[in-house]
Amino acid sequence: QQQVKQSPQSLIVQKGGIPIINCAYENTAFDYFPWYQQFPGKGPALLIAIRPDVSEKKEGRFTISFNKSAKQFSLHIMDSQPGDSATYFCAASTGNQFYFGTGTSLTVIP
Amino acid sequence: DAGVTQSPTHLIKTRGQQVTLRCSPKSGHDTVSWYQQALGQGPQFIFQYYEEEERQRGNFPDRFSGHQFPNYSSELNVNALLLGDSALYLCASSITWGVTDTQYFGPGTRLTVL
């Protein structure tokens, strides 16, 4: 059973566009929602994270929107660049156990 | 400050063999989690070690076992390797009872089972 559902599976945008990646969860005990970026052959790197007591968090060009009632959260990448081309994973945790989405492969075309 | 380190980088084994993967956590971190990431998939939680004990375990068979040492480093052992064990094995470190739940990942060990 997939604890965190992520969509879309892949995404192609033009440079400067705003890709949006969505995740949904069921377990209301989750209290920490990070996003990770992974390049081929590398481990996931933390991008940004949010707790359910806030509805939005911005760090640089990355924004998380969080809808607690809908049990959904999303990642927005402003002014996307070719260097942002990577796989993005959402995750949710309760305590120290993390559950990951299936990933979104993002391609930013120059 | 070194981040999470893992060794070896790559490993090739044959079915039925046993393998040991190693992880050193980020400085100041006391908790180590292991994940298996199949190609094109998200990381799947194997287990977590804290205070040299297995604290939580995901849906993985007993062929997967681990250990945490007093210096917080950790090993993942897989016995009786199957073709399906081929994957990227990721170690993540964190701080139990810390301000944040953030897990920091190492670069992974790519295991190929032939």
Q: What is the pLDDT of residue A97?
A: 79
Residue at token pair 């309760």: A94
Encode B76-88 in three state secondary structure.
EEECCCCHHHCEE
> Taking residues B72-84, what's their average pLDDT?
97
Dihedral, CA of residue B94, residue A65, residue A73 and residue B4, to nearest 10: -20
Report the percent of chain B where pLDDT is more than 70.
96
Q: Per this entry, what is the length of chain B?
A: 114
The answer to whether A92 and A32 have CB atoms below 8 angstroms apart is yes
> Testing the interface with B: which of A3, A46, A98 to mutate, by most B Cβ within 10 A?
A98
Do the chains contact at B48 and A97, CB–CB below 8 Å? Answer: yes
User: Residue B75 pairs with which residues in a beta bridge?
Assistant: B22, B67
Separation of alpha carbons B10 and B100, rounded Å: 31
Separation of alpha carbons A77 and B65, rounded Å: 39
Q: How confident is the model at residue A1 (pLDDT cuts 50, 70, 90)?
A: low
Structure tokens at A55: 């509805």
- CB proximity under 8 Å: A 33-52 to B: 34, 36, 41-46, 49
For residue B6, is pLDDT > 80?
Answer: yes
Structure tokens at B110: 């790519």
Chain B residue numbers touching A59 (CB-CB < 8 A): none
Separation of alpha carbons A25 and A34, rounded Å: 13
* Cβ neighbours around B73 below 10 Å, total: 17
* Cβ neighbours around B61 below 10 Å, total: 10
Q: How confident is the model at residue B24 (pLDDT cuts 50, 70, 90)?
A: very high
For residue B46, is pLDDT > 90?
Answer: yes
Element (H, E) at A61: none
Separation of alpha carbons B49 and B27, rounded Å: 16
> Taking residues A15-27, what's their average pLDDT?
97
Do the chains contact at A42 and B107, CB–CB below 8 Å? Answer: yes
Q: Does A21 touch chain B (CB under 8 A)?
A: no
Contacts of A26 (CB under 8 A, 6+ apart): A3, A71
The answer to whether B73 and B24 have CB atoms below 8 angstroms apart is yes
